Amino acid sequence: MKRYGRITGWGKSVPERVLTNHDLEQMVDTSDEWIVTRTGIRERHIAGPGETTATMSIEACRKALKQAEVAPEAVDLIIIATSTPDYLCPSVSSMVQDQLGATRAAAFTLAAGCTGFVYGLVTANQFIETGLYEKVLVVGVEMLSPFVDWTDRTTCVLFGDGGAAVLVEASDVPTGILSCELGSDGSDWDALYYPGGGCANPFSEEVLRNREHYLRMDGRRIFKFATRKMTDAVINVVRDSGLTWDDIELIIPHQANSRIIELARRRLKVAPEKMMVNLDRYGNTSAASIPLALCDALEEGRL
């Protein structure tokens, strides 16, 4: 009998501190109007003392398990999608597994940038379809604030911290993921990266002096890539799912820039109410972006 992976629980975790555009006006040469016009962002959550990628993951997982009425001991696998783990070693997924009390669970960290949650969700579904696991937690989480140059107005206005989790459970009823599309294009690898701190350019006094341990971005290249790829991917998964466009109630895109989302919406020719947008409240949270939007859509009754 074919097995299907269905989402049975979900939960989010965002830091209490909110940094508004008006706050940023006091920090760098920018304005609320400039930020909103070019990005659609109005505020973002910033982690405070004691808040980390691991703590946000644990809170989100607990909420997802409570929603599904599943005990931590029943979880088979935890997948943490993040580019900002607490430490390079040990794996943040193992820390979450221990502190969550998921004593039976395997755990690994998946680094795929902003697409991390999608990769994690598809991976969880594969484990379930093969019959290896019954219950898989998938977390998309980022703590980007320590890696943002708060003197660089082109990047510091964009990013925020947060996380969200879903529990994917095995089912005999046809449900869950109907189609998917994964891909990679490393040709523009330096359009969004940390120049220093990795093994190619290890952390040093020179890296610190040149501020190469902070995130750098070429927004023009990213905009061009994102609008093209997101549109193509949505068209392909709808086609492969066997559904019609009339069947689609909501599209949940990565929340990076309102102009990217709006251009994709126009190209797809869907109504504004069919495109989930919560970018204004969180900014770009990378791997946390899509699950945060999924949780908000569920809370708002849009799914």
Rounded to 5 degrees, φ, ψ at 143 are -120, 85
Q: Is residue 230 within 8 Å of residue 252, measured between CB atoms?
A: no
Give per-residue burial for 109-147: e unless 16+ CB within 10 Å, then b.
bbebbbbbbbbbbebbbebbbeeebbbbbbbbbbbbbeb
Selecting among 114, 213, 257, 295, the annotated active-site residue is: 114
- Token pair 């109005």 is found at 42
CB proximity list for 105: less than 8 A, separation 6 or greater: 72, 75, 76, 77, 78, 97, 137
CA nearest 53: which of 111, 121, 3?
111
| 285 closest CA partner among 87, 50, 117, 106 | 117
Q: Which residue among 156, 254, 257, 295 is the active-site one?
A: 254
Query: Residues 290, 291, 293, 297: is their CA dihedral positive or negative?
Result: positive
Give catalytic status of residue 114 as yes or no.
yes
Give yes or no: 254 in active site.
Answer: yes
> Is position 295 annotated as part of the catalytic site?
no
Q: Which residue has the tokens 């040149």?
A: 210
- Exactly one of 61, 125, 284, 295 is catalytic; name it: 284
Query: Which of 229, 247, 226, 230 has the alpha carbon at shortest distance from 238?
Result: 247
Element (H, E) at 119: helix 116-129
State how far the Cα of 182 lies from the Cα of 145, in Å rounded to an integer: 28
Residues 6 or more apart whose Cβ sits within 8 Å of residue 167: 7, 8, 9, 10, 64, 65, 67, 68, 70, 75, 135, 136, 137, 138
List the catalytic residues.
Answer: 114, 254, 284
